[in-house]
Structure 1
Amino acid sequence: MNEGAPVWITRAQPGAEATAAKVATLGFAPIVDPLLEVAPIAASIDLADAAALAFTSANGVQAFSRLCDSRALPVFTVGRATAVAAREAGFTQVSSADGDVEDLARLILTARPDSILWAGAREPAGDLVAALNDAGVAARGVAVYETVDRAPSEATLALLGRPLSVLLHSPRAARGLAGILRCRPAQALRALCLSEAVAAPLDGLVESGSVARAPRPDETALLALLSA
């Protein structure tokens, strides 16, 4: 653990502020300076043949909810945070896989709905739609938002020369950090990653002992690494 080190939160808003509040509650000083930002897509939502909805992020729930007023269909979500977002948006039948995209696919395959509409990012981290179709569940997807890279402030970059912990929720954010570290090595950096896939882009750029991976892909497990 980097004792007394600030914690750089790289995830996109509005999730970054929610994470910052949790980090502060744990007694650490959060620095909110996302490497990503979310841009909505003006998509057309067709529910004609959908028996259920699937979401792999809270951003997907929020973007879908702005585009479509219907809340009648059952919802399957990748994890608890996404499930909370779905309930806050007005969905009442919400099942959470409490894991990753593979866990979500297994949950849906167990329930065997007639068809699934997934709403999410233009470039998702995992292909839920293909996994479901390959397993015999009719699924289609609609992109309702896209994630774009964002440059951090010079004030944040200046901290790379000091002890600093960085929270990484996605491979995309980790790739952004990797690009920075190729130009500005950070010997005292500790990278805390949501999963092995998130940690992968940092290979060779951060000392192996300074990269920690959450034992399961949820934020509670990720934040526990701060005190490990």
Structure 2
Amino acid sequence: MSAGGAIWITRAQPGAQATARRVEALGYAPLVDPLLEICALTPEVDLGDIAALAFTSANGVEAFARLSAIRDLPVFAVGETTAMAARAAGFANPVSADGDVEALAAVIAATRPGQVLCVGAEEPAADLPALLARGGVAARALAVYASRDRAPTPQTLDRLGELDAVLLHSPRAARGLAAILRTAPAPGLKALCLSPAVAEPLAAAHREGRLGPVAFAPRPRESALLDLLTR
């Protein structure tokens, strides 16, 4: 893919702006128009029986930090971006699984810290407490934010035929794009996905000619996703 092309960034804010800066630094023109938006929730935070915290996204860290002043519990993070958010929020030495939710569960199970509070979305992509239970670790979930579908602007839809690629960070965003392509096909648009799970909802659209090539990063990290731009 040649530098200078337009790249649609679909992830929710505030992460979308950070991605846009990285895309621009690589020589591409970012188009920020999220397919999701983050809505903060206000649950009661009970840490009485909790020995450690597990975060599956930076959004979860930031939402939890607004709800609780506790910073002295051990923290496990799904990847380095989430670990960085935890450090920025005041948590010391968060452990990064450097992978997906299954990798996070494996790291926690190997450590066996005691009861874990799994902090994340209202509708998580994977059930971390269930994965931990299989590994013999007691855990419960706390939803601190919700992801809501967001429609792209008419201007973005008008430009689908001229965009070089679309970046997708979640299965939910991919499902949103798949729905859009049913009435606004873009056979020349390349879909670059964070993981195989993100790519899966787009398989039919590609197979039926409503979407161009679909690729996914070899590791679920944004650096690996952005590497796909140069291939």
Structure 2 counterpart of 1:212, which letter?
A: A
Return the alpha-carbon distance in structure 2 between the equivalents of residues 150 and 199 of structure 1. 19
Return the alpha-carbon distance in structure 2 between the equivalents of residues 106 and 173 of structure 1. 26
* Structure 1 residue 93, shift from structure 2 partner: 2.7
Give the corresponding residue for 2:14: 14
Structural mapping, 1:139-178, within 5 Å: 139-178=139-178
TM-score (norm 1): 0.97
Contact 2:168/2:193 (8 A) holds in 1: yes
SS of alignment partner, residue 37 of structure 2: strand
**What is the aligned counterpart of 2:222 among 201, 219, 224?**
219
Return the alpha-carbon distance in structure 2 between the equivalents of residues 30 and 155 of structure 1. 14
Return the alpha-carbon distance in structure 2 between the equivalents of residues 33 and 165 of structure 1. 13
Contact 1:77/1:83 (8 A) holds in 2: yes
Structural mapping, 1:20-169, within 5 Å: 20-169=20-169
Return 5+ residue gaps in structure 1 as ranges.
none
Contact 2:187/2:212 (8 A) holds in 1: no
Q: Runs of 4+ in structure 1 displaced over 6 angstroms?
A: none
SS of alignment partner, residue 147 of structure 2: strand
Q: Give the superposed CA RMSD.
A: 1.2
TM-score (norm 2): 0.96
SS of alignment partner, residue 205 of structure 1: helix
* Structure 1 residue 163, shift from structure 2 partner: 3.8
* Structure 1 residue 128, shift from structure 2 partner: 0.6
Contact 1:2/1:190 (8 A) holds in 2: no
Return the alpha-carbon distance in structure 2 between the equivalents of residues 212 and 4 of structure 1. 20
Return 5+ residue gaps in structure 2 as ranges.
none
SS of alignment partner, residue 47 of structure 2: coil
SS of alignment partner, residue 38 of structure 1: strand
Give the corresponding residue for 2:197: 197
Return the alpha-carbon distance in structure 2 between the equivalents of residues 133 and 40 of structure 1. 27
* Structure 1 residue 136, shift from structure 2 partner: 1.0
